[in-house]
Chain A
Amino acid sequence: MVKAFVEIHLKKGIADPEGSNTLKALKLLGFETATDVKSARLFEIDLEEEDRVRAEDLLEEMCNRLLANPVIHDYQIRFE
């Protein structure tokens, strides 16, 4: 079995209102040295696969078909 962490983030150039609003709120709280916030989403996925290469292929397909919208998102896959 493998445990994977799939991080979904917005492509460069796509507006990130969640990130920019979070930055605003952080500055209001006094964290004035914060200069940028980007939002992302993390999925922790357990897979009953022994083969890492196959697991990675499956995770990529999961991203393309559900976890990310390839029009606006990039993703990164890490294994534990």
Chain B
Amino acid sequence: MKVEDVKVCILIIEGTNCEAETSQAFRRSGASAEIVHLKQLLGQDTKPEETRKLEDYEILVIPGGFSSGDYVRAGAILAARMKSRMEDELVQFIDEGKPVLGICNGFQILVELGVLPGIESIMSRYPTASLGWNDSGRFECRPTLLENWNKGKCIFTTKLERGQIIQAPTAHAEGKFMLPKHREKELLDTLKDNDQIVFRYVDAEGQIAGYPWNPNGSLFGIAGICNSEGNVFGMMPHPERTYLGIQQADWTRNVPDNGDGKAVFESVLDHVTKKF
């Protein structure tokens, strides 16, 4: 299909706040992006002409923000609402190989939904990983450097070379990726073997490093992972905030034609236009 025919659902509820720049990124890359409230997908309190169906879209994106005020835990409420009302539609969407992207709060939601890491099933009943409080105990808002660690499984990073380092800012309080302690090594090895690790925080020399390069204390420096099929992807940093060259942290000294984050959007659109 042509890129202009690719319909992207940017899902919001109260507290989402990155929908404008996320939809702008997809639009600038040529796709048709629509900001859709969860109630429009559920047909709840909406006029018939406002109702939307998930199956009519090629890509689902859960953007950043503070959905439901981060009550209980970041992402927990929206995940519960989605799971209770649209689990079957979402599982089918993922099963069809359609891409799902979660950025920041969106990543937290995908983890709380149990679709990431998505090792043993498309969606687990309970979460199997956690994005917990940053080790610093505070909200971290800073540029971060990410190494593409993926060998090709993730459909969101195919435009990046393995080992390529990109800039994307982080802005979160709960971003420390954790696996169950008693199975940590085994599950981490599985993620490596399945090529599910996508981005890792690195320092200016491209080495895995501690704080502040790794802003939250994530296990193995993990900044982003995909499911075992590679079509569901979540990352804590914001690629939509380095879509343009002038959004790069060093833009006063070095303005590239494109921002580093653009590759994430171009990769998934390239995949969709070829596959569907």
Contacts and interface: CB of A to CB of B under 8 A. Distances in A.
Are A and B associated in one complex? yes
Given A66-B72, A69-B112, A17 B178 contact: no
A19 B128 CA distance: 24
Contact of A15 (B83, B128, B135): B135
B208 interface: no
Contacts of A72: 130, 132, 178
A38 B244 CA distance: 43
Contact of B126 (A14, A15, A64): A64
Contact of B137 (A11, A18, A66, A71): A18
Interface string A20-63: 11000000000000000000000000000000000000000000
B80 A69 contact: no
Nearest to A71: B130
Given A65-B80, A69-B73, A72-B178, A17 B129 contact: no
Contact of A71 (B72, B125, B128): B128
Interface residues of A, number: 17
User: For chain B, what secondary structure do more than half of its interface residues adopt (helix, strand, loop), or is it mixed?
Assistant: loop
Contacts of B126: 64-65, 70
A20 to B, nearest CB: 7
B136 A71 contact: no
Contact of B127 (A13, A16, A20, A69): A69
Interface residues of B, number: 26
A13, A17, A67, A71 pick with most chain B CB within 10 angstroms:
A71
Contact of B181 (A11, A18, A21, A64): A11
B101 interface: no
B179 interface: yes
A69 to B, nearest CB: 5
B43 interface: no
Given A69-B112, A71-B130, 18 more contacts: A13-B181, A14-B132, A14-B181, A16-B133, A17-B133, A18-B133, A18-B137, A20-B137, A21-B137, A64-B125, A64-B126, A65-B80, A65-B83, A65-B125, A69-B130, A70-B127, A70-B180, A72-B130
Interface of B: 72-73, 76-77, 80, 83, 112, 125-130, 132-138, 176, 178-181, 217
11 contacts: A13-B181, A15-B176, A17-B133, A17-B136, A66-B80, A67-B72, A69-B130, A70-B127, A71-B130, A71-B180, A72-B132
Interface of A: 11, 13-18, 20-21, 64-67, 69-72
